[in-house]
Amino acid sequence: MTDLTSIHQPVLLDDCVRLVSPALRREGSVAVDCTLGLAGHSTAFLKAAPQARLIGIDRDAEALAMATERMRREGLSDRFTPVHAAFDELDRVLEDQGVDEVDAVFMDLGLSSLQIDEADRGFSYSHDAPLDMRMDVTQELTAETILATYDARRLTRVFKEYGEERFARQIAGQIVARRDREPFVSTAQLNRLVDEVVPQAHRPAGNPAKRVFQALRIEVNGELDKLSSTLPQAANRLSVGGRLVVESYHSLEDKTVKAFMAQGLRIDAPVDMPVVPPDAQPFFADLTRGAIKADADEIAANPRASSVRLRAVELTRRIPDRWRRRFAEGQQHDHATNRRRSRRG
């Protein structure tokens, strides 16, 4: 059998366990891992909290099957429920499981080692592979479809917004100019094009195509839309004393997480109000004092930890109804955006 610990190193594992496990002390407490992957974090959570159970969500059926087998081998199956879904389906998943509130919600937004290391998935610019990049292989939209059908303006937006690529317009223009005579079907083709377009003097450290690959992956999987939709679902489902713990790996994710958490960390009243009513007090407590980063030793052992930002909050009181409504309105907007995006794809 495959030794999953040899292909998957959970990032900031000790910090994540330290942040999640205090919320799982009571008998029957429930944690949700929205990004189960190969269950490196989740197995540690269940071992640290023997009275808790965990719902593991993943849109990658292969990863879900491997994680389920890992739980069986670790003797944790009786406290583990696997669910094949995208994490922005959190509300539906909990309703299906008959769960109203949970005590911890965890999200590790990085690609799993399985996705990176399987060359035929097309996530990595280090291997020549089909331009796929789907986390859920049952969906239709792929990176190849995007490069074949998006016009130059739309490609530019994707590369600029999701990859923060300085030469987004030039790269998009060359893709559109070349694709009729040479359709883009492999990661090697895209690598070569970016290598030709981006000037040597303006290249980031490492492969110059990494920002373009990041942008395509985010667009294919709707990652930022799904994140923006999932965070309020998670907050609204937390019990008082429950914790939301999120690991991000690029600035767009981290900005989204930071901005969401900040809403519950500040006083919701005018600055000149002499007495702040209880309903305007913060409903989150900051557990990480900003973001936790990996130290040099962890980065040396696991280079994928170099960009991680770990943030966590605890729900200190029931979320006011007005904030629940704001969160719900935001979710409706995000779901509408996803539907429009799906139709365009």
- Exposure of 6 in the CB half-sphere (CA atoms within 13 A): 3
User: Hey, how many other C-beta atoms are within 10 angstroms of the C-beta on 139?
Assistant: 15
Q: What letter would DSSP give residue 246?
A: E
Round to whole Å and give the CA distance between 267 and 197. Answer: 48
Round to whole Å and give the CA distance between 219 and 135. Answer: 12
User: Is residue 48 part of an annotated ligand binding site?
Assistant: no
User: Is residue 184 part of an annotated ligand binding site?
Assistant: no
User: Is residue 41 part of an annotated ligand binding site?
Assistant: yes
User: Hey, how many other C-beta atoms are within 10 angstroms of the C-beta on 254?
Assistant: 20
With left for phi above 0 and alpha for psi between -120 and 50, is residue 322 left, alpha or beta? Answer: alpha
- Supply angle C-alpha 116, 87, 111, rounded to 5: 15
Round to whole Å and give the CA distance between 19 and 41. Answer: 12
- Beta-carbon contacts of residue 241 (< 8 Å; ≥ 6 apart): 23, 103, 314, 315, 316
User: Is residue 58 part of an annotated ligand binding site?
Assistant: yes
User: Is residue 264 part of an annotated ligand binding site?
Assistant: no
Binding-site sequence positions for S-adenosyl-L-methionine: 39-41, 58, 87, 108, 115
Binding-site sequence positions: 39-41, 58, 87, 108, 115
